[in-house]
Structure 1
Amino acid sequence: MPDPEAKVPNPRKADLERLRRDLAKEVESIRKALKNPTEEIGGDKVWVGKNARTWHTELDGRHKRLGAQVDKLLPLVDAAIRGEPEKVTASEARTYQKVV
């Protein structure tokens, strides 16, 4: 019978590290998701007038807020990774894997 206190690699930490790698690949495209529409509507080539300016202002604000929120994602995941131990007991690992 295995030692009940035997330590194994932490599967939650491994999942968080995988999430961070995947997210790092996508952050820039998410940050820029509204860039082209914002520039097109604000550039007087697609749409002009009072309503166009209103839409541009709204879209530009959303673009900036999206960028600010995306900039918080990697630090949040990094903090979660730092908070996880390298190893956990085998029973803790099994419990985590059952839940996930």
Structure 2
Amino acid sequence: MAGLESKVPNPRKADLQKLRSELAKEVESLGKTLKRPSEDIGGDKVWVGRNARAWHRELEGRHRKLGEQVGKLLPLLDAAIHGEPEHVPAAEARSYGSSA
């Protein structure tokens, strides 16, 4: 009789979609986090010389790595969302709500 149980919208999928929406906004912000300081240092606006160039290279590397890592987040969430069914049995939805 489990097949006769009513189905409801999947709350886990809804939570993942909400998380993705919020994260998409943050990804843009995170992508810009080191861009301005890197441009300022690299553009000789705030600091010049050998040490400034070394710091600029370090900052550029960190900016690139941050972008690479952040760029992996949305595809991971997209895959998780894609793997979730639209509807689940009501008991499963209730169980998810009590464990969250």
TM-score normalised by the chain length of structure 1: 0.89
Distance 1:76 1:7 in 2: 26
The letter of the residue matching 1:71 is G
Paired AA for residue 93 in structure 1:
A
Larger relative helix fraction: 2
Structure 2: stretches of 5+ with no match in the other structure: none
Which amino acid counterpart does residue 56 of structure 1 have in structure 2?
H
Pair 1:92-2:92 in alignment: yes
The CA distance in 2 between the partners of 1:81 and 1:69, in whole Å, is: 19
1:49 matched residue in structure 2: 49
Quote the residue 2:74 is aligned against. 74
Q: Which aligned runs of 4 or more in structure 1 are off by greater than 2 angstroms?
A: none
Q: Percent of counterpart pairs with the same letter?
A: 68
Q: Is 1:32 matched with 2:25?
A: no
Give CA-to-partner distance per residue, 1:26-68, whole Å, 9 cap, x none.
Answer: 2212111100000111111211122111111110000011111
Mapped partners of 1:38, 1:22: distance in 2? 26
Structure 1 residue runs without a partner (length 5+): none
| Residue aligned with 2:88, SS | strand
SS class of match (1:95): helix
Contact 1:13 1:86 in 2 (8 A): yes
Cα separation, 1, equivalents of 2:49 and 2:32: 25
Kindly tell me the number of residue pairs found equivalent between the two proteins: 98
Q: Secondary structure at the match of 1:64?
A: helix
TM-score normalised per structure 2 = 0.89
Report which stretch shifted further, 20-29 or 51-60: 20-29
Indicate the SS of the match to 1:54.
helix
3-state SS, counterpart of residue 97 of structure 1:
helix
